[in-house]
Structure 1
Amino acid sequence: MASVSFFIRGKVADKESTIWVRFRDKGIDIKAPVPYLKCKPKDWKDGKCKLTSKKITENDSDTINIRLIKLETEIISKYYEESPDIDLKDWLEYVILPTKSKPDKEEYSDNVLLFIDDYISLKERNVAKSTIKKTNVVKQLLNRYVEDRKIRKKNFKNLRFKDLDNSFKADFEEYCQKENYKISTTYRNLKFLKMICKVAESFDIEVHKHTAMWKFDIEKATKAIPKSIYLTFDELQRIEEKEMPFDYLDNAKDWLLIACYTAQRVSDYLRFTSSMIVEDSEGQKYLEFTQQKTNARMKIPLLKKVQDILFKRGGEFPRKISDVNLNLYIKQVCEISGINEIVYNGKVMVVEREDKSKIIRKVFGSYPKYELVTSHIGRKSFASNFYEKIPTAYLLNFTGHTTEKQLLTYINKTDVEKAKSTAQIFNKLGF
């Protein structure tokens, strides 16, 4: 959900400083000054002026705080009304100061690949690096598709937005199937392309009318594919109790357990340090940090399992390790701990094409569970293990998901496990 907050950058307590606005939404975090509103640092607290009657000039009808409230409302309403997608900083500055000349729309190419480059250059200031990375991945796939189509159809030169009809969609799906992409991945990429088409239309680029009617039932496409695995409480206990033969494996084991009891992404939990731990007046310890992917400010209880690991290590988190090595080592940790149940799922492997070239794809089959363990299993394990044991709202506070729908993608319990959990809940209620 979009949000607006205000802050000042000045440090001199008695010198007026320009108030800044910070606008945030999913994947968006931009800041801009409000040149006509100022406040002294000594009079500023929690995004407001402490002097509630303070005005810019004596003749003003509104106080500074009232003007901030009105500006916040204006920014949010215009954001949902106009749905700006690129040039967000310029858009925000224009909302703050409407007298500023609105930037003219530039002319952009109707070549899909060239336009994606423009899209990246316009978005990279306002979105997370991971979003730009995903955009580049889709662009590279489209580029390979274009090169393949040039070979198949001699008169084909470039992919233009007006070429994106249903015939293109069918041909692209066929190409992705030949390249061993999962149908769910193909749908996600087409869904991204549909979004790019909407952006292109906002710049008056001609887009084929078929794209607006494309539908992607990703849930249906993935129905027959097993959900990602997770480590149960019993398996975590076995891992915790198993002594590792080498120090580097013991270090990796502790990171794996921390991941499973903090519910964070590998990009976050491998950055944990003891300096992030805070304690309240009742002695409860918390971890305070900012999630790298979402920029969300987090404060989660430090569970006893994590505190035990810190106690074992003199109050510090395990040694730093790269996520590449962690992925390798935790497979060994789980193998030594006997996490070897044979399960049907996907494993990333090198696949040889018909022309003998090699590509990396997820191949489904029956594998020992330890071979399927990755650094992301901690987040999935936490969500699956604690779902139905604590209120969903509290679970969302831990994972940082904004909706229950997002959370449910991590709940990997089988129908039998769900039925047992449901029965236990009703038994406790006396029914």
Structure 2
Amino acid sequence: MQINFFLIPEKSSAKYRICLSVVPDLPQKPFICETPFIIKKEDWDEQKQRPANIYLKQHKRIHVHLNAVRVQVTALIFKTRKVGKTSSLKGLTRKIREICSAERKEYAEGSLLAMMKSYMEDKADAICLSTYRRYMVFMRMIEKFEGFTVRHISVEEVNPEFIRQFCQFGKEEHYTQSTVSRTIEFVKTILNYAERKGIITKVRQLEVPKVKSVKKVMILTEEEIARVSEAEIPENLQRARDWLLISCYTGQRISDFMHFNNGQITEIGGKQCLSFMQKKTRKEIVLPLHPEVLNILKKYGNSFPQAMDTTIYNRHIKKIAALASISDPVNVRKRIGFRGKDIQVEKWQSMTSHIGRRSFASNFYGQIPTPLLMQATGHSTEQMFLNYINSVHYDRVISLGNYFEQLYASRNPACP
């Protein structure tokens, strides 16, 4: 059986109607059906039979529906054939119209997508918005994969062959290896969830592909933080600089530090501390305030600066870093078009609100016991915490070099 999408010109416009031909069984003549979607010819990828840019809002919607048509029409034809009947043009047209007009997605019973939906509904009260959005990214990938394989994927079918095909799909669609691996990790989570419901799965047979690339954590070194603190900047950037320094000395996400307030300050053992609940993890954090943070609070009458919009804050800290001459070349992955690409930029250009949290973890690592740092950042495991550590810490490299020279000099006093 074959399902192919193609374009036919619209009579009253310069756009084209997306149609499909369905060949249930050769040599039976194909059914030609129209969809409600129209598109410009230059926006259509004839080879992949879909919109060329599937990340434009309008084209994304078309692509999602075309994938659903491909999968559900195939399922309908096999179901009809199983009961000894033949498909009809009228029945297929009605099904296509139904799929394309549906506002809410319904997933096949027993499918991987249905189990994902059930899992997310069960976790709705326990996860934050960012986690929910990440789960939705994984679901969208599986939806696209079903379009790629032209069939519903049941929970029982998730096996090593599924992993192989999914990796092939990721390669053809130019997804990064880390994106593919994270999605497979989520699939394993779903299978474990299914087993708790009494469904037998092959989760123990699955191996997640290892990511070969080494992730480099972007941080501000202690020397760079000092340059930010001392740089001459215009008045309109002062507040953003103070928040950046606060983030570097508290190690919190912007969703937390931008909402710090005097009501969270408490005194414990003669030390000024912050007591708050992390928005993402819902963990209670009690954090002693660094002297640099206390100095900043004095500037604002022993209070925190006024909160800032995240977009404006990210824009301002880039300007601050540029004025502080934080311009060493760094390699980053930047979205160009609808895929990430590795490019080299000046460091200030790559700065975002999360750099303070990473800088805190990396700069104090090795100087302060790791359990104490983890208590401050709210990480549950050391492995998660170490993801925030810059593996190439140049201050430590220089210190190690100094130790080498001192040891060599102590053992070879005659050498200059």
TM-score under structure 1 length normalisation: 0.64
Corresponding position of 2:188: 194
Corresponding position of 2:354: 376
Match of 2:274 among 287, 308, 330: 287
| Contact 1:254-1:318 at 8 Å conserved across structures | yes
| Contact 2:278-2:285 at 8 Å conserved across structures | yes
Match of 1:257 among 239, 245, 249: 245
Q: Partner of 1:237: helix, strand, or coil?
A: helix
Whose radius of gyration is greater, 1 or 2? 2
Corresponding position of 2:255: 267
Corresponding position of 1:97: none
**CA deviation profile, 1:200-237 (whole Å, cap 9, x unmatched):** 23334453x3x42222254xx14x33412100111111
Query: Shift of the alpha carbon at 1:330?
Result: 1.2
Asked if 1:237 is matched to 2:223, the reply is no
Query: Shift of the alpha carbon at 1:240?
Result: 0.8
Amino acid at match of 2:386: L
2-structure distance, mates of 1:421, 1:172: 46
User: Aligned-residue CA RMSD in angstroms?
Assistant: 2.5
Match of 2:165 among 163, 171, 176: 171
Query: Shift of the alpha carbon at 1:381?
Result: 0.3
Amino acid at match of 1:185: T
2-structure distance, mates of 1:385, 1:280: 25
Asked if 1:404 is matched to 2:382, the reply is yes
2-structure distance, mates of 1:181, 1:305: 42
Amino acid at match of 2:336: V
| Contact 1:285-1:302 at 8 Å conserved across structures | yes
Corresponding position of 2:214: 225
Q: Partner of 1:363: helix, strand, or coil?
A: strand
Query: Shift of the alpha carbon at 1:365?
Result: 1.9
Corresponding position of 2:329: 342
Q: Partner of 1:385: helix, strand, or coil?
A: helix
CA separation of 1:253 and 1:390: change in aligned 2, threshold 3 A: same
Query: Shift of the alpha carbon at 1:417?
Result: 4.8
Q: Partner of 1:298: helix, strand, or coil?
A: strand
Corresponding position of 2:206: 214
Query: Shift of the alpha carbon at 1:296?
Result: 1.3
Query: Shift of the alpha carbon at 1:198?
Result: 2.1
2-structure distance, mates of 1:312, 1:215: 54
Amino acid at match of 1:238: R
1-structure distance, mates of 2:402, 2:377: 25
Identity of aligned residues (%): 32
CA separation of 1:423 and 1:399: change in aligned 2, threshold 3 A: farther
Which deviates more from structure 2 when the two are superposed, residues 125-134 or residues 269-278?
125-134
Which deviates more from structure 2 when the two are superposed, residues 419-428 or residues 113-122?
419-428
Amino acid at match of 1:213: Q
Q: Partner of 2:342: helix, strand, or coil?
A: strand
CA separation of 1:226 and 1:131: change in aligned 2, threshold 3 A: closer
| Contact 2:249-2:292 at 8 Å conserved across structures | yes
CA separation of 1:386 and 1:281: change in aligned 2, threshold 3 A: closer
1-structure distance, mates of 2:297, 2:394: 36
Query: Shift of the alpha carbon at 1:316?
Result: 2.1
| Contact 1:345-1:366 at 8 Å conserved across structures | yes
Asked if 1:301 is matched to 2:288, the reply is yes
Query: Please, which runs of 5 or more residues in structure 2 have no aligned partner?
Result: 1-107, 412-416
Corresponding residue pairs, total: 301
Corresponding position of 1:114: 114
Asked if 1:330 is matched to 2:325, the reply is no
| Contact 2:256-2:278 at 8 Å conserved across structures | yes
2-structure distance, mates of 1:136, 1:380: 26
Which deviates more from structure 2 when the two are superposed, residues 302-311 or residues 133-142?
133-142
Query: Shift of the alpha carbon at 1:295?
Result: 1.3
Corresponding position of 2:175: 181
**CA deviation profile, 1:283-333 (whole Å, cap 9, x unmatched):** x21111111122111111111111111111222222212222222221121
